[in-house]
Amino acid sequence: DGGITQSPKYLFRKEGQNVTLSCEQNLNHDAMYWYRQDPGQGLRLIYYSQIVNDFQKGDIAEGYSVSREKKESFPLTVTSAQKNPTAFYLCASSMGQGNEQFFGPGTRLTVL
Amino acid sequence: GIQVEQSPPDLILQEGANSTLRCNFSDSVNNLQWFHQNPWGQLINLFYIPSGTKQNGRLSATTVATERYSLLYISSSQTTDSGVYFCAVGGNYGGSQGNLIFGKGTKLSVKP
């Protein structure tokens, strides 16, 4: 089945710890994205990557880091510098930037 | 940056009723998508519609790009239509070409 997978589904973290969220796609898409959603709000762009080994900051990149070593994978690290990391994180991909985006099922991160 | 406004913010319908959701945006766009977020958080693609009209079963959408709005029509609503509907737009805005900007959504509740 073609699609986007994210893991884990739920993640709990203690303050001061870094945590990495996984995003994998088998759609052969070039572009990948990470968004954050807070309760009752729309999605906001954290980072995006148009091609392997390249990525750009989105609107709320502070406290996050990414890598794009493989076309299929775009992991997101939430660092201890992120002041309010509790949120729902969604990964997306598209054929190219500007094309229709498709989303994974999301990861709910809670900082205890 | 571009502003995306969705209305109404909340909508309660009786099963079988029709509804229209609106998305206004403040600049020209080359990408517009409608999504349905189900109770588990999954974003489901409804339409990719930067201009024109499309229909898919009981749902249809129209984007009038020159007047900077899009409409999502839901006919004969069902309880499974409940959830949050998001409009997201993309365009050539500085360094973020093609990235999606999300509205805050319309929360739809369909009562049996």
Put simply, the answer to whether A101 touches B103 (Cβ < 8 Å) is no
Distance CA B6, CA B22 (A): 6
User: pLDDT tens digits for B53-84?
Assistant: 999 999 999 999 999 999 999 999 999 999 99
CA angle B50, B61, A92 (to 5 degrees): 55
Nearest CA in chain A to B39: A105
Residue numbers in A near B104 (CB within 8 A)? 40-42
User: Two tokens at A78?
Assistant: 């939430």
Sort out which chain B residues have CB atoms less than 8 A from A48's CB and list them.
99
The verdict on A90 touching B (C-beta cutoff 8 Å) is yes
CB contact under 8 A, A98 and B90: yes
pLDDT tens string A54-111 = 999 999 999 999 999 999 999 999 998 888 999 999 999 999 888 999 999 999 999 9
Q: Does A58 touch chain B (CB under 8 A)?
A: yes
Residue B58, pLDDT score: 98
Residue B16 has pLDDT above 70, yes or no: yes
